[in-house]
Structure 1
């Protein structure tokens, strides 16, 4: 009966050339890369067309487990996979007697926490979400071992997403990795997404940075411009290349398509300077050594990049620093303080910060990597010296007070930095700079460290609330008590009385 009820798709937005079995498995993995929570993928086709084969390959790729047992849900009708990224439900409606039975299977509830793959979707009639992606699979007429794929959806976003994942595969082919396996790699809080790519020569990391006009809102783009965040991947190539030239370990780039925002680079692993959730003091000392090495050298304002052009680093201007600190007013204060953020309060805040920044105008300037903390400092077993740590997340580097990166490391947002460890690392940095640079000013650095630490903690308190509320990432709220304690610690430093008095009104 089911064979007679196959849905004839309207005009499809894409039809692929026939794929063999290995290509089909890889393509299923490519679709797994673009799945999002709430997605419904309908797999349509005759008996034996390859729907279950495709679904099984997609699920194993999504789970990053090539040996995962994926039984057919022909009799159970639905099989749930609870996976780290989000849940995945596999439906087979071949034995569905009435379309209304789909509601009893809990599709709506399952889509609250994950995505769904549905074989024989025609039998659900009109009960499936109208924006689902339909993939019709059929045997190739000339070769029964190959499969054809046609795609349809009323949601135009699917055409864009399918196009993007095919674009990545074409890019990998051009890099000599046509048969590489792609796996989702948890990214950061930015617009970028990351994958691991495994080929015959080993593993590398693919960054996709879709900074098209439609990728971000005008408000987000305006904020990025005001605080000098990089807006395409050229900065990644330029900054990384210059760091390596100066003896700082950054990922080697293997291939890049700057117009499409694709960069394939060296995989530095996932082991950081944090061990079992706690800072490993010796590794943090190596990170301090890297900062001393950087801050003892002269860095250019303009650097070349691979396409023959040049990249100019922006200044970490007072306007940018104040705009970042203002995230504290924009997000943290409305969430946790019973104080209205009106124009007068904002003027007070900005004037206070302007005065504080003017007070450190003479502090040492140089390259500021901006997020020099544990998630971006990857431990390299077997290396020696400062090569024991590889640096990532470099694209937003600016020229500003070098004390900023020291504060970023010593008040690490992702782990508990005790006052004792902070003080020990601070002394190690100061001692290292005094040995390497005869012009190092201990008092000037101390003032700059205090102000930059307060600015960064203010910014991050706002960012973490924004990630929780705007971007639906509530886990970031778990870091707030640590950041609140850091802020109290910083405001107790000498010379911080004005900021301490002002911020005091926002503490519970």
Structure 2
């Protein structure tokens, strides 16, 4: 039976009452591209809090670590991409690990994983993107974000994460997930852009061109990746020290991945411009504080996986526009095309560049 809004509101009220927050004033926050919703809570006493509301049944199931690629494809996109399907226990377990290694993730005040509800510490409104818009110098924020990644990478990545809502597996961002993400481009761009069309031969050539990048990304998966690490998901906490000044949210889809993954998400952002000078300075800072034995190889992986991620995001945005009726994502696509075009000039991506030159002419990549 489908749960009604009235039923869900009754569950929220019961949960808040059990957490001692029945009388808290509630203020819904704007939604995003997910099935998750948030409310800011204002108790009569004490600081504000956040209510996370995620109905587990609203999405296809997450991947079981034992499933084959074929089984994952049969089960749906969350299994292919090794997404958490919004499970509260994933968020709670990742948050516990981040805090344990000295980073800032919201503390859990109350959790009901089966119902898909949690009350979290509220980091406030100082989102990186907003404080930069208000005139704060972006360089210290980005360098702190890079230092936080170096701390996360140095801490190691357990195969199982534990939290007060239960254990959660940290699965590898493997070849199935990486290629599945890239394939969103050839699946969804033609639905948005009728001038583009990819037949079976073109799709086979697409996968062949990406194969070395996919293999390097999967083979180099060695650290926990936040997976959505950018200026809209980071909150500046200047009263804290060192890497803990970077408050992290929206990390429930964390995976074991190549150490460059979160770096290119941060520095080749879909939603705001990051100058090439700041990108170079931030990468230099990462190399100064992290253990990287072969800088050239790392940067090759950085460019290749950034290009793959940009193709993936273009496919996601095309899907959001064409299928879900969310035209605002069109405004982000030119920035993604610019990042992708620049990366296609880098060593190791010659095959992918040739594919684009043949099937997506340069004048259409904007």
| TM-score, structure 2 normalization | 0.88
C-alpha spacing 1:302/1:371, structure 2 compared with 1 (3 Å): same
Mapping 1:10-89, distance limit 5 Å: none
1:221 and 1:269 mapped to 2: Cα distance?
Answer: 37
Question: Equivalent of 1:282, from 112, 118, 140?
Answer: 140
* Cα pair 1:243 1:250 within 8 Å, conserved: yes
CA displacement 1:255-301 (0-9 Å, x = unmatched): 01010000110111122222118881221111011111112221211
Map of 1:363 onto structure 2? 220
Alignment-derived partner of residue 228 in structure 1: 82
Displacement of 1:204 = 0.8
The residue aligned with 2:276 is 419
Query: Is it true that 1:503 corresponds to 2:356 in the alignment?
Result: yes
Report whether the alignment pairs 1:190 with 2:45: no
Deviates most, 309-318 or 256-265: 309-318
Q: Aligned match of 2:177 in 312, 317, 320?
A: 320
> Are the structure 2 counterparts of residues 383 and 293 from structure 1 closer, same or farther at C-alpha, using a change threshold of 3 Å?
same
**Corresponding residue of 1:211:** 56
State the match for 1:166 in structure 2: 10
Deviates more, 1:219-228 or 1:240-249: 219-228
Alignment partner of 1:256 out of 100, 106, 111:
111
Deviation of 1:342 after TM superposition, in Å, equals 2.3
- The SS at the match of 2:192 is helix
**Hey, what's the Cα distance between the residues in 2 that align with 1:319 and 1:189?**
23
SS of the residue aligned with 2:205?
helix
Change over 3 Å in CA distance of 1:269–1:461 after alignment to 2: same
Q: Which has the larger radius of gyration?
A: 1
Does the aligned pair in 2 maintain the 1:411–1:486 contact within 8 Å? yes
1:15-67 deviations in Å (ceiling 9; x for gaps): xxxxxxxxxxxxxxxxxxxxxxxxxxxxxxxxxxxxxxxxxxxxxxxxxxxxx
> Which segments of 5 or more consecutive residues in structure 1 lack a partner in the other structure?
1-155
What SS class does the counterpart of residue 170 from structure 1 fall into? helix
Distance in structure 2 (CA, Å) of the matches to 1:366 and 1:372: 14
Distance 2:329 2:134 in 1: 16
Match of 1:246 among 94, 101, 104: 101
Find out whether 1:387 has 2:232 as its counterpart. no
Quick one: structure 1 residues 381 and 432, their matched pair in 2 at CA, closer, same or farther if it must change by over 3 Å? Answer: closer
Distance of 2:219 and 2:317 partners within structure 1? 31
Which structure: greater strand fraction? 1
Equivalent runs, 1:332-481 vs 2, <5 Å: 332-336=189-193, 338-359=195-216, 363=220, 365-433=222-290, 437=291, 440-481=293-334
**Any conservation in 1 of the 2:93–2:161 contact (CA below 8 Å)?**
yes
Number of corresponding residues: 345
Aligned to 1:271: 126
Counterpart of 1:375 in 2: which secondary structure?
A: coil
Separation in structure 1 between the aligned mates of residue 346 and residue 193 of structure 2, nearest angstrom: 24
Of structures 1 and 2, the one with the larger relative CO (CA 8 A, separation 6+) is 2
- Between the aligned partners of 2:157 and 2:60, the Cα distance in structure 1 is 34
Structure 2 distance, partners of 1:333, 1:297, is 42
Cα offset, 1:338, TM superposition: 2.3
Give, in angstroms, the shift of residue 361 of structure 1: 5.6
What's the CA shift for 1:494? 2.3
Q: Structure 1 residues 226, 277: CA separation in 2 closer, same or farther (over 3 Å shift)? A: farther
| C-alpha deviation, 1:226, in angstroms | 0.6
Unmatched 5+ stretches in structure 2: 62-72
Alpha carbons of structure 1 residues 361 and 469: separation in structure 2 relative to 1, 3 Å? closer
Alpha-carbon distance change, 358 to 221 in structure 1, aligned in 2, over 3 angstroms: closer
* Cα distance per residue 1:154-207 (max 9 Å; x no partner): xx97x7110101110110000001101111112331111111111022211111
Matches within 5 A, 1:54-203: 160-200=4-44, 201-203=46-48
Residues 469 and 337 from structure 1, CA distance in 2 versus in 1: closer, same or farther, beyond 3 angstroms? closer
Distance 1:420 1:493 in 2: 17
Q: Deviations over 1:63-108 (max 9, x none)?
A: xxxxxxxxxxxxxxxxxxxxxxxxxxxxxxxxxxxxxxxxxxxxxx
CA distance in structure 1 between the aligned counterparts of 2:262 and 2:164, rounded to whole angstroms: 27
Please tell me the root mean square deviation across aligned C-alpha atoms, in Å. Answer: 2.1
Taking the aligned partners of 1:460 and 1:431, their CA distance within structure 2 comes to: 30
The TM-score with structure 1 as length reference comes to 0.65
SS of 1:374's equivalent in the other structure is coil
Once residues 315 and 194 of structure 2 are traced to their aligned partners in structure 1, the CA distance between those partners, rounded to angstroms, is: 13
Q: Secondary structure, in 3 states, of the residue corresponding to 1:357?
A: helix
